[in-house]
């Protein structure tokens, strides 16, 4: 057998170069928002809602209640109950269901995320929170899991008032760029830690 032809030698070198490039690409760190990071951010969303509850309630009192026929009822009950309903939804779908939400985003593996990915992730959450099919799902969930059997007209009230209140509150308060700009990954100071005793 003679020596390999020039074409065969070039083909082998090209294959070796391609194999080296593929191995290098597989060894490179993943630059996508990871599943662990996403789950962590979904859990933080629960705290963000709790921190913003008073502002959301005040906003609904000033902006939603004047739009309904029963304004006094709204001011006495609806704005307050919306916060409880929002807690229920966030805890069920985004805290307890964090992995599922992150799976719908198609993310996996652990690493630090970027400011851009923070915004992108919250844009996904906002779309999820405002999607009409999901709002219908939240409404059913609240009827079945938030309303107690002895709460008169709760289920009817959820059906009538929750979707509009929710859309108004989310449009006003779930602003991905503003939220992420308060995170260290986007240049904000890290939260202070309580003193350790």
pLDDT tens digit sequence for 32-80: 567 788 888 888 877 887 888 888 888 888 998 899 888 888 888 877 7
pLDDT confidence of residue 178:
92
pLDDT confidence of residue 5:
56
CA-wise closest residue to 80 among 179, 171, 167, 161? 161
pLDDT tens digit sequence for 102-117: 777 777 444 567 899 8
pLDDT band at 6 (very low <50, low <70, confident <90, very high): low
For the chain, what is the radius of gyration of the CA atoms?
Answer: 25
Q: Is the pTM of this model over 0.75?
A: no
Phi, psi values for residue 195, rounded to 5°: -65, 145
Most confidently modeled of 10-19, 106-115, 141-150? 141-150
Q: Tokens representing 15?
A: 């294959």
Q: What is the DSSP letter of 150?
A: T
Query: Is 158 in contact with 85 (CB distance < 8 Å)?
Result: yes
Residue 143, helix vs strand vs coil? helix
pLDDT confidence of residue 97:
81
The CA distance from 139 to 145, in Å, is 10
């Amino acid at each position: 057998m003679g020596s390999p032809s020039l074409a065969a030698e070039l083909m082998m070198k090209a294959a070796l170069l391609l194999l080296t490039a593929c191995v290098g690409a597989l060894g490179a760190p993943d630059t996508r928002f990871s599943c662990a990071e996403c789950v962590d951010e979904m859990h933080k969303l629960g705290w963000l809602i709790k921190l913003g509850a008073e502002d959301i309630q005040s906003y609904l009192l000033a902006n939603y209640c004047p739009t309904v026929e029963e304004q006094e009822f709204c001011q006495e009950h609806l704005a307050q109950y919306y916060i409880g309903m929002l807690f229920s939804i966030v805890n069920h779908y985004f805290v307890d269901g964090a992995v599922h939400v992150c799976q719908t985003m198609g993310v996996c593996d652990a690493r630090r995320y970027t400011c851009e990915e923070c915004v992108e992730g919250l844009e996904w959450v906002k779309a999820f929170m405002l999607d009409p099919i999901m709002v219908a799902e939240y409404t059913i969930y609240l009827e079945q899991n938030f309303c107690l059997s002895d709460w008169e007209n709760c289920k009817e009230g959820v059906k009538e008032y929750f979707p509009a209140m929710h859309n108004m509150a989310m449009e006003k308060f779930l602003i991905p760029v503003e939220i992420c700009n308060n995170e260290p990954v986007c240049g904000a100071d890290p939260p202070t830690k309580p003193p350790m005793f």
